[in-house]
């Protein structure tokens, strides 16, 4: 019985991911001539810039069949600057193939991708590439992979039929399976498939894709040890990529996860699926319908976004964020530049484009310097040359203690008071909103309006005005007037309550967060001391020092992006080009020099008129302002959470 699955190719730069994809497509009969990255003719790098730079920039699709298994193959970018694109693809996969270079081993970039796969819950098969290189040791590689998960097991010789040696290891992963195995002496195919699907077992295969070694075994594993998902009857789909074609047409890549999508169906109000395309490399065929499990590109919708759920599917919120802000300099029409950059930002969920009409300044938030170079090249190819200036660090703000914030908005013939509890939340959780208000204090429709107001804007911190994150905000209660309260009043009171609470703990409970890198630095033993001193000076933290042969040492750890972003040039200089530095963004952590950054920013939270912490009251027919630190004497409802 045939099955249909979607598989993604995931790997760090230079692991040989595209070469492996070519080999798989060749052996499956999809292509009849092997392409190569260095020859600029790879099947899954169809864009001109990808051919020129030799890297995958965008996700691409191919079709292949192995035995009774029909596979949609999605290739993803390898460079960490495009991790947001990779993450969105992971959200629509049944399985992933993680390609690891035998010569590099489990690098920081591999660990980063593993965490991403773990976070999205994608069953994973590991292919260790470049095993033809001298000195590589399969046992050492398995040992290092098992530090990621003890379920990483060699499937050598078990690609089609389980060998007893592999069966022993697979069965030992699960107590129930092991008990049955010890009783019957057999490990069923169904049990193995389930363990892989549940991410308890991660098959590891070895080969050299450039020489077609190990590729047939990998294809056999995909045919033998994978399970097709079960889909619902109602229409559901998830978008994972936005792309603009050569003629400017906007395409939404999506996977149908339930029911059927027909051409001309309405995906969003007033937005129909004008055309359905099934891509295979750079070419496509149009179809009239896409069934559950299929991946297609849809023309027509104009407001879709990567991660969006359609029909019964839920949205997928990515965790990859921009960390550097660049100002745009150009000598050409700024309106044309804005529109072109808007289209580029439309395609990458981690890119944020901002326009300040007062200063006529256009800024772009990015993940790293390679992404910066790519955008400059893309714009030049459009005839709109730009220069992105030195990147500024993007900060976030959070809280370390709880506080009750109060906002009051009462100009003439308007009235609302809102009380909110602001609390620290786990790192990486974003903003969370909860409601514990009583109907005696705020009517249900007023409560709904407050909750809508909390979610309606990006809340800013009071240290440097950076976005607020990792905070839980709970509606405690407040006051309203049947005669005078309208939705706008509750919105104003809500926003002011957030700011008032933050101002109350600005000096004691507000914390600045900055992006940190996870780094891996390979240097000659003679300069290890220099490297360690540099890392300490940059505020970084190092882990264990691992020998890499007789003369080299691997240093790994974490350091602030602000201090390490330009360190690669230093490494090249003091190692005479022999050192290797790899960096991946590891999220946001407390700023290593908070007070210096706050002082340098010069941000005045009370002068931020769009985010005022003060309240508006009314007396004798006229409104007046009550400063944030005087709200206790003027508010109409006593504190809920604290009496101070």
Could you read off the pLDDT of 93-125 as tens digits, one per residue? Answer: 999 999 999 998 998 889 889 999 999 999 999
At 391-440, the pLDDT tens digits run 899 999 999 999 999 999 999 889 999 999 999 999 989 999 999 999 99
- Which of these, 80, 36, 107, lies nearest to 522 by C-alpha position? 107
Region 527-548 average pLDDT: 90
Residue 528 in this model has a pLDDT that exceeds 80: yes
Split at pLDDT 50, 70, 90, the class of 543 is confident
Nearest CA-CA partner of 554 in 520, 527, 577, 582:
520
What number is the average pLDDT over the span 137-165? 90
Q: How many whole angstroms from its chain centre is CA 372? A: 18
What is the distance between the alpha carbons of residues 621 and 618, in angstroms, rounded to a whole number?
6
Q: What is the per-residue DSSP string for 454-480?
A: HHSS--B-SSSSPBB-SEEEEEEEEE-
Percent of the chain scoring above 90 in pLDDT: 71
Beta bridge partner(s), residue 261: 290
d(CA 54, CA 13): 10
Q: Using pLDDT thresholds of 50, 70 and 90, give the confidence band for residue 37.
A: low
Rounded CA separation 50/41 (Å):
10
Characterize the bridge pairing of strands 283-287 and 275-280. antiparallel
- Find all residues with CB under 8 Å of 644, minimum gap 6, and list them: none
Confidence of residue 13 (pLDDT cuts 50, 70, 90): confident
The yes-or-no verdict on residue 45 having pLDDT over 80 is no
Residue 583: band (very low, low, confident or very high) from pLDDT cuts 50, 70, 90: confident
Q: Are 98 and 127 in contact (CB under 8 A)?
A: yes
**How far apart (Å, rounded) are the C-alpha atoms in residues 644 and 627?**
16
Q: Evaluate whether 112 touches 337 at the Cβ level (below 8 Å).
A: no
- Residue 78, pLDDT > 70, answer yes
Interval 522-537 mean pLDDT: 94
Region of poorest pLDDT, from 11-20, 202-211, 598-607, 629-638:
11-20
Assign 524 to helix, strand or coil: strand
The answer to whether 608 touches 460, Cβ cutoff 8 Å, is yes
560 vs 589: CA distance, rounded Å: 9
Q: Look at residue 412 in the predicted model and tell me its pLDDT.
A: 87
Predicted confidence (pLDDT) at residue 46 exceeds the cutoff of 60? no
pLDDT at residue 74, as a whole number: 93
pLDDT tens by residue, 163-218: 888 999 999 999 999 999 999 988 999 999 999 999 999 999 999 999 999 999 99
| 66-75, 546-555, 565-574: least confidently modelled range | 546-555
pLDDT greater than 70 at residue 50? no
pLDDT band at 644 (very low <50, low <70, confident <90, very high): very low
Q: What is the pLDDT of residues 458-505, one digit of tens each?
A: 999 999 999 999 999 999 999 999 888 888 999 999 999 999 999 999
Give the whole-number percent of the chain exceeding pLDDT 70: 96
Instruction: Convert the pLDDT of each residue in 258-270 to its tens digit.
Output: 999 999 999 999 9
- What pLDDT was estimated at residue 494? 97
Helix (H) or strand (E) segment spanning residue 8 = strand 3-10
Beta-carbon contacts of residue 428 (< 8 Å; ≥ 6 apart) = 319, 470, 587, 588
Residue 375 banded pLDDT, cuts 50, 70, 90: very high
- Kindly report, residue by residue over 218-235, the tens digit of the pLDDT: 999 999 999 999 999 999
* The pLDDT of residue 620: 83
Q: Are strands 541-547 and 471-479 parallel, antiparallel or unpaired?
A: unpaired
What are residue 421's DSSP bridge partners? 404, 474
Is residue 442 very low, low, confident or very high in pLDDT (cuts 50, 70, 90)?
very high
Specify the pLDDT at position 49.
52
């Amino acid at each position: 019985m045939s099955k249909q699955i979607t598989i993604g190719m995931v790997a760090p730069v230079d692991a040989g991911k595209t070469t492996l994809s070519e080999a798989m497509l060749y052996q499956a009969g999809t292509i009849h001539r092997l392409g190569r990255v260095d020859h600029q003719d790879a099947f899954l790098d169809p864009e001109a810039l990808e051919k020129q730079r030799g890297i995958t920039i965008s996700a691409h699709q191919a079709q292949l069949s192995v035995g009774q298994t029909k596979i949609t193959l999605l290739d993803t970018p390898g460079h960490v600057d495009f991790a947001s694109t990779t993450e969105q693809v992971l959200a629509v996969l049944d399985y992933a193939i993680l390609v690891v270079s035998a010569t590099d081993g489990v690098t920081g970039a591999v660990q980063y991708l593993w965490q991403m796969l773990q976070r999205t819950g994608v069953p994973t098969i590991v292919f260790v590439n470049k095993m033809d290189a001298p000195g590589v040791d399969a046992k050492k590689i398995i040992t290092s992979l098992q530090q990621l998960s003890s379920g990483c097991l060699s499937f050598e010789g078990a690609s089609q039929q389980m060998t007893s040696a592999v069966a022993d290891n697979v069965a030992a992963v699960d107590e129930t399976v092991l008990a049955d195995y010890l009783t019957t002496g057999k490990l069923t195919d169904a049990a193995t498939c389930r363990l892989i699907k549940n991410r308890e077992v991660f098959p590891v295969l070895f080969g050299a894709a450039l020489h077609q070694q190990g590729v047939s075994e990998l294809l056999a594993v995909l045919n033998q040890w994978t399970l097709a998902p079960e889909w619902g009857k109602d229409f559901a789909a998830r978008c994972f990529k936005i792309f603009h074609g050569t003629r400017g047409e906007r395409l939404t890549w999506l996977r149908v996860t339930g029911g059927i999508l027909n051409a001309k169906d309405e995906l969003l109000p007033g937005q129909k699926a004008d055309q359905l395309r099934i891509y295979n490399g750079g070419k496509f065929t149009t179809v009239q319908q896409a069934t559950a499990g299929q991946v297609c590109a849809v023309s027509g919708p104009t407001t879709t976004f990567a991660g969006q759920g359609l029909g019964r599917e839920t949205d997928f919120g990515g965790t990859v964020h921009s960390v550097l802000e660049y100002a745009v300099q150009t000598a050409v029409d700024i309106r044309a530049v804005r529109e072109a950059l808007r289209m580029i930002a439309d395609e990458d969920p981690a890119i944020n484009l901002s326009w300040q009409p007062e200063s006529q300044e256009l800024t772009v938030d990015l993940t790293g310097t390679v992404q910066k170079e790519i955008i400059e090249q893309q714009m030049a190819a459009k005839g709109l040359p730009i220069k992105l200036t030195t990147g500024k660090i993007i900060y976030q703000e959070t809280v370390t203690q709880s506080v009750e914030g109060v906002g009051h908005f009462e100009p003439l013939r308007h009235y609302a008071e809102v009380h909110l509890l602001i609390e620290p939340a786990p790192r990486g959780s974003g903003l969370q909103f909860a409601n514990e208000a009583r109907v005696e204090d705020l009517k249900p429709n007023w409560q709904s309006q407050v909750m809508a107001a909390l979610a309606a804007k990006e809340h800013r911190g009071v240290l440097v005005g950076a976005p607020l994150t990792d905070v839980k905000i709970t509606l405690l209660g407040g006051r309203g007037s049947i005669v005078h309260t309208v939705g706008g009043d509750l919105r104003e009171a809500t926003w002011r309550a957030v700011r008032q609470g933050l101002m109350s703990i600005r000096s004691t409970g507000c914390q600045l967060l900055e992006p940190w890198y996870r780094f891996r630095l390979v240097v000659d033993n003679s300069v290890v001391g220099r490297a360690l001193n540099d890392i300490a000076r940059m505020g970084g933290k190092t882990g264990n020092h691992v020998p890499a042969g007789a003369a080299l040492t691997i240093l790994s750890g974490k350091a602030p992006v602000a201090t390490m972003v330009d360190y690669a040039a230093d490494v090249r200089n003091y190692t005479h080009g022999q050192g290797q530095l790899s960096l991946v963004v590891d999220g946001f952590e407390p700023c290593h020099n908070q007070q210096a950054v706050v002082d340098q920013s010069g941000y005045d939270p009370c002068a931020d008129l769009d985010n005022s912490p003060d309240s508006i009251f009314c007396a004798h027919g006229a409104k007046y302002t009550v400063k944030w630190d005087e709200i206790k004497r003027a508010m109409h409802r006593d504190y809920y959470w604290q009496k101070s």
